[in-house]
Structure 1
Amino acid sequence: MLKIGCHLSTSKGFKNMGKEALEIKANTFQFFTRNPRGSKAKAIDEKDVAEFLELAKENNFTTILAHAPYTLNACSADENTRAFAKEVMEDDLARMEYTPNSLYNFHPGSHVKQGVEVGIKYISDLLNEVLKPEQTTTVLLETMAGKGTEIGRTFEELQEILSRVRLSDKMGVCLDTCHVYDAGYDIVNDLDGVLEQFDKIIGLDKLRAIHLNDSMNPFESHKDRHATIGEGSIGLEAIANIINHPKLCNLPFFLETPNELEGHAKEIALLKSIYKVV
């Protein structure tokens, strides 16, 4: 069974996100924990969450993925911005326990000319402060395209963060197909080689989710512009290889393509039609 979903709006609550996912034949979804460009988080409606959990159980949903706001920069040069990142992540992880055993993804951040080493230390320090032994949520570092001073453009940078986190069992990686392709990992012509690199440097056991996106820009462009599945420089054949790869096919895939719900429904139908794993 293909584990597939897209990004849905949290404005109508968890139960309605679950219903929207079912409408487009998805069995999971991604959502922002709060305003993606701000700090405000909607109050948790426990009744709504309980109804969603029942809906998810009845319809065999797989793991859902929460996405931290884009404003969270754990390695900023500004102390107040780092303090904000800690406050947001602590609050998000507490809220995530309403939907146990879920995934929480965040962009490692931009070191803003401080240097990668300094940025990595800030990120790992924050994770060591906010992660709790009792939490059921797995926190994911997202692979990045390498714009500006982004951290996470290489597998080595992600591993350096992971190696410094004490509660390593609470951590994983979300691989974004557009980002890694734009960063210079050739998943079109050498998917096996890229996965071998990932396994050697990080370990495939740490790969917990995939953002399934085509790319508007060419290989190694460091641009990070997502395209609809099959309409970018990665292409449908490479996407098919990714979702059918024996080391990837059982992971949850999340679309972040430039589409509305109807467009995502078409993409999901297309992906299901080329998914060959029994």
Structure 2
Amino acid sequence: MLLGAHISISKGYEHAVKEALSIEANTLQFFTRNPRGSAAKALNPVDINKMRELIKQTGFGPLVAHAPYTLNLASSKPEAREFSIRVLREDLERMSIVGASYMVLHPGSHAGLGLEKGIEKISSALKDVVTGNEKVMVLLELMAGSGTEVGYTFEQLYEIMDRTGNPDAFGVCFDTCHALGAGYDVIDSLDKVLLEFDKILGLSKLKVIHLNDSKFLLGSRKDRHANLGEGKLGLETIKNIINHPELKDKPFLLETPGGMENYKKEIKMLKQLAEN
């Protein structure tokens, strides 16, 4: 079972993997750069080599990078969109050096332009950046649909990928909190939700799961993470998700409140909930 959390790389990649191992995680997610800015820490080849050796020794799972929140491929402002394209291109190259398998990306916000225009702008930008020959796969994250977010339905994600002309180059990150907010009933109809995902996108597209409880109800269109078992999803739903035959072999990544101590507690709990 692949269990991990979002961990800072401020002290280096080797340190981040060591931190993950200290909480009994075997995969992790990290930001490619300052999540709310543009600064990117220079890569240290010595640190990366040490991390790779540690991964080899421990059988550590895939590294999952997360693009900064400042990227908005749907922006109507040329400078903002150009910035997003440049950073995405740079980070795909940087993450290939690090050895990340995936890079999670929030599709973008249309800011009043409308969904159709937003989808058009996002797919056009991705077409410019992603060739399909990258070592790192871009994963579009399923969003909750807050404000003018694009990508809160399976159909929207399909449209974005399809319009790039190279849909096989992309995958999906399924966030359990976002899914509930977007109106997908993973509590009472998990099988139905996954069947719909398979029909529209294909379950092979689902590469990573952000395992978060939600502070808000089904269809709220709100994105507020809660600790596992303390939100509207509840522990029974979390148990069903991690043990579902179509999901149980995917990397599960925590983005819940409380930091490392909480991650350690929740990973221990998830291992107890897992059916052997």
User: Shared fold (TM-score greater than 0.5)?
Assistant: yes
CA distance in 2, matches of 1:152, 1:243: 23
Match runs of 1:98-113 below 5 Å: 98-100=97-99, 102-113=101-112
Structure 1 counterpart of 2:17: 18
- Whole-Å separation in 1 of the counterparts to 2:60 and 2:10: 20
27-36 vs 98-107, which moves further = 98-107
Q: Which amino acid aligns with 1:168?
A: P
Give ranges in structure 2 of 5+ residues lacking alignment.
none
User: Quick check: 1:120–1:157 contact (8 Å CA) kept in 2?
Assistant: yes
Task: State the AA in 1 paired with 2:219.
Answer: E
TM-aligned CA distance change 1:148 to 1:119, over 3 Å: same
The alignment's C-alpha RMSD in Å is 0.9
Shift of 1:187: 0.1
Contact 1:137-1:170 at 8 Å conserved across structures? no
Q: What is the CA distance between 1:182 and its match in structure 2? A: 0.8
Q: Which runs of 4 or more aligned residues in structure 1 lie more than 4 Å from their structure 2 counterparts after TM superposition? A: none
Q: How many residues align?
A: 276
Q: Which amino acid aligns with 2:135?
A: T
After superposition, the C-alpha distances for 1:141-182 in whole angstroms (9 at most, x for unaligned) are: 000001111001111000001111233332100000000001
Task: Report the alpha carbon displacement of residue 101 of structure 1 after superposing the two structures with TM.
Answer: 5.5
Structure 2 Cα separation of the partners of residues 72 and 242 of structure 1: 30
User: SS of 2:109's equivalent?
Assistant: coil
Amino acid aligned to 1:220: G
1:1-278 equivalent positions in 2, closer than 5 A: 2-100=1-99, 102-277=101-276
In 1, Cα distance between the equivalents of 2:199 and 2:100?
Answer: 27
**Helix, strand or coil at the partner of 1:128:** helix
What is the distance in 1 between the residues matched to 2:186 and 2:49? Answer: 39
Q: Distance in 2 between matches of 1:192 and 1:151?
A: 24
* Identity percentage of aligned residues: 51
Deviation at 1:133, TM superposition (A): 3.9
Out of 125-134 and 169-178, give the one that drifted further.
Answer: 125-134
Q: Which runs of 5+ in 1 are unaligned?
A: none
Q: Distance in 2 between matches of 1:162 and 1:217?
A: 29
The alignment partner of 1:134 has SS state of coil
Rounded to whole Å, the distance in 1 between the matches of 2:239 and 2:231 is 14
Give the alignment's TM-score, normalised by structure 2.
Answer: 0.98
C-alpha distance after superposition, 1:241-272 (max 9, x if no partner): 00000000000010000121111000000001
Q: TM-score, normalised by structure 1?
A: 0.97
Alpha-carbon spacing, 1:15–1:53, altered in 2? closer, same or farther (3 Å): same
Q: Which secondary structure does the structure 2 equivalent of 1:254 belong to?
A: strand
Using the TM superposition, give the Cα deviation of residue 63 of structure 1 relative to its aligned residue in structure 2, in angstroms: 1.0
In structure 2, what residue type is equivalent to 1:27?
N
Counterpart of 2:253 in structure 1: which amino acid? Answer: F
Which whole-Å CA distance do the structure 1 matches of 2:152 and 2:167 have between them?
A: 20
Aligned mates of 1:156, 1:164 — CA distance in 2? 12
* Deviation string, structure 1 residues 28-78 (Cα, Å, up to 9, x no partner): 110000000000000000111111111111111111110001010000111
1:174-223 CA distance string (max 9 Å, x none): 00000000110000000000000100111101000000000011111111
- Distance in 2 between residues matched to 1:57 and 1:169, nearest whole Å: 28
Give the direction of change, closer, same or farther, for the CA distance of 1:40–1:222 in structure 2 (3 Å limit): same
